[in-house]
């Protein structure tokens, strides 16, 4: 047997073993897809994929082959994602608004194979998951310029759903008018309150009146239906295409890096993997005892157990004058031994304490 035949024999043997292992891997990917469907998780988990690739690359002894292994592994993961997407095809995803709204766009990027179902407001979309109509809801929770979306934060505190993912979507606001309308003749602009806030300086400079709408897509639809050239909408370019409007001015929001964070709400909270490490994220909502220093002591406990607090906000409690609850996001694995001990310690100073979400930090740029 010459060298060529020997080499081909090795390749044939390895290929046969790889085929068996490929089948085994796809069976495991099918189980992962079933779990993700049950818990409302997106297909892509960039942090997990990066960790798997790094771990596998560390097993390659020949340094000159590592880059080829990484390319091979990325291709394999793309195949697995494609297979999982087929299994999740048709899954109902709730969002607030209509086709063309930023939430509609975000839901499509997070769940590309899902069936997006629009609801008139945040509460309706949230309740669609609670009552089983949909298995996940994609709702905006914060904007880098305008701040938190208070209604969604309140749903986290009062509702039963958990956050299983956070995704960033770059938002560009544009001035949308009827075709042929003169910008100088505009008197009123309509849009979602967050969009109006993001473009406040531009609106004020032109001296326009404002009218708030449930979302940017509905604002564009209203302008089209009214047929009044003195009324314009603020929203995405997609809204102009969808409703037959013209983009009279591009990128009118004040912040060039305007980004909205969308949360994925599901019925079940999924525990973080043991190897989540610093990529782990969790959300707490809590109230503190009416005693001196309770809040300071609670925050001190979070730090003492090694968790890095990234966000802390207070919100008024509905129906209770001058009573507030707190929303906190932190880094780390809340499902670890330290996390469980930290929750037990927090209980000494909190009236109400709830873990409202766990997820891993993924590469949000992949979803923009």
Contact criterion met (CB below 8 Å) for 40 and 266: yes
Nearest Cα residue to 191 out of 247, 226, 147, 235: 235
Is residue 310 exposed (0-12), middle (13-18) or buried (19+ Cβ within 10 Å)? Answer: exposed
To 10 degrees, the CA torsion angle through 215, 320, 148, 207?
A: 60
Nearest Cα residue to 359 out of 119, 108, 170, 110: 110
Residue that has been written with the tokens 């998780």 in this structure: 41
Nearest Cα residue to 162 out of 303, 87, 272: 272
The count of other CB atoms within 10 Å of the CB of residue 204 is 10
Residue 211 token pair: 């009218």
pLDDT, tens digit only, all 368 positions of the chain: 688 889 999 999 999 999 999 999 999 988 988 887 777 677 778 788 888 999 999 999 999 999 999 999 988 988 888 777 667 666 889 999 888 888 999 999 888 878 899 999 999 999 999 888 888 999 999 988 778 899 999 999 999 999 999 999 988 999 999 999 999 999 999 998 989 998 999 999 999 999 999 888 889 999 999 999 999 999 999 899 999 999 999 999 987 678 899 999 998 887 887 777 777 899 999 999 988 999 999 999 999 999 999 999 999 998 788 889 999 999 999 999 999 999 999 999 999 999 999 998 753 333 33
pLDDT confidence of residue 89:
64
Cα radius of gyration (the chain): 25
Nearest Cα residue to 39 out of 261, 264, 262: 264
pLDDT confidence of residue 365:
33
Contacts with 227 (C-beta within 8 Å, 6 or more apart), sequence order: 178
pLDDT confidence of residue 47:
81
Q: Name the β-bridge partners of 88.
A: none
pLDDT confidence of residue 191:
96
pLDDT confidence of residue 82:
73
DSSP state for residue 50 in the 8-state scheme: H
Task: Please state, in angstroms and rounded to a whole number, the distance separating the CA atoms of residues 305 and 339.
Answer: 8
Task: Please state, in angstroms and rounded to a whole number, the distance separating the CA atoms of residues 128 and 271.
Answer: 23
DSSP state for residue 270 in the 8-state scheme: P
What is the b/e burial string over 13-35, where b = at least 16 CB atoms within 10 angstroms of the residue's CB?
A: eeeeeeeeeeeeeeeebeebbee
Q: Domains along the chain?
A: 3-88 (1.20.59.10), 174-252 (3.40.190.10), 269-368 (3.30.70.260)
pLDDT confidence of residue 144:
85
Task: Please state, in angstroms and rounded to a whole number, the distance separating the CA atoms of residues 80 and 36.
Answer: 13
């Amino acid at each position: 047997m010459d060298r060529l035949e020997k080499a081909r024999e090795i390749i044939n043997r390895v290929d046969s073993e790889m085929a068996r292992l490929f089948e085994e891997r796809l069976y495991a990917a099918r189980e992962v897809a079933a779990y993700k469907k049950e818990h409302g998780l997106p297909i892509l988990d960039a942090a997990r994929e990066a960790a798997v690739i790094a771990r596998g690359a560390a097993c390659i002894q020949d340094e000159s082959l590592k880059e080829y292994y990484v390319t091979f592994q990325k291709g394999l993961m793309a195949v697995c994602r494609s297979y999982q997407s087929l299994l999740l095809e048709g899954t109902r995803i709730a969002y607030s608004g209509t086709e063309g709204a930023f939430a509609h766009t975000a839901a499509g990027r997070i769940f590309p194979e899902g069936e997006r179902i629009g609801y008139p407001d945040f509460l309706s979309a949230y309740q669609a998951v609670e009552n089983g109509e949909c298995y996940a809801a994609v709702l905006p929770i914060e904007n880098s310029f305008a701040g938190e979306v208070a209604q969604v934060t309140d749903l986290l505190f009062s509702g039963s759903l958990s956050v299983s993912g956070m995704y960033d979507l770059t938002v560009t606001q544009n001035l949308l008018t009827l075709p042929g309308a003169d910008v100088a003749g505009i008197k009123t602009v309509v849009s979602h309150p967050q969009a109006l806030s993001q473009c406040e300086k531009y609106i004020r400079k032109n001296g326009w009146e404002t009218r708030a709408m449930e979302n940017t897509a509905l604002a564009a639809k209203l302008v089209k239906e009214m047929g009044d050239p003195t009324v314009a909408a603020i929203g995405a370019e997609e809204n102009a295409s969808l409703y037959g409007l013209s983009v009279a001015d591009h990128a009118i929001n004040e912040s060039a890096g305007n980004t909205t964070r969308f949360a994925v709400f599901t019925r079940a909270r999924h525990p973080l993997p043991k190897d989540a490490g610093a990529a782990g994220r969790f959300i707490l909502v809590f109230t503190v005892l009416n005693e001196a220093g309770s809040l300071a002591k609670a925050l001190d406990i979070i730090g003492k157990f090694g968790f890095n607090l990234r966000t802390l906000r207070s919100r008024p409690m509905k129906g209770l004058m001058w009573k507030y609850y707190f929303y906190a996001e932190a880094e780390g694995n809340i499902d670890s031994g330290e996390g469980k001990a930290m929750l037990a310690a927090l209980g000494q100073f909190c009236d109400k304490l709830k873990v409202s979400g766990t997820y891993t930090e993924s590469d949000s740029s992949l979803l923009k």
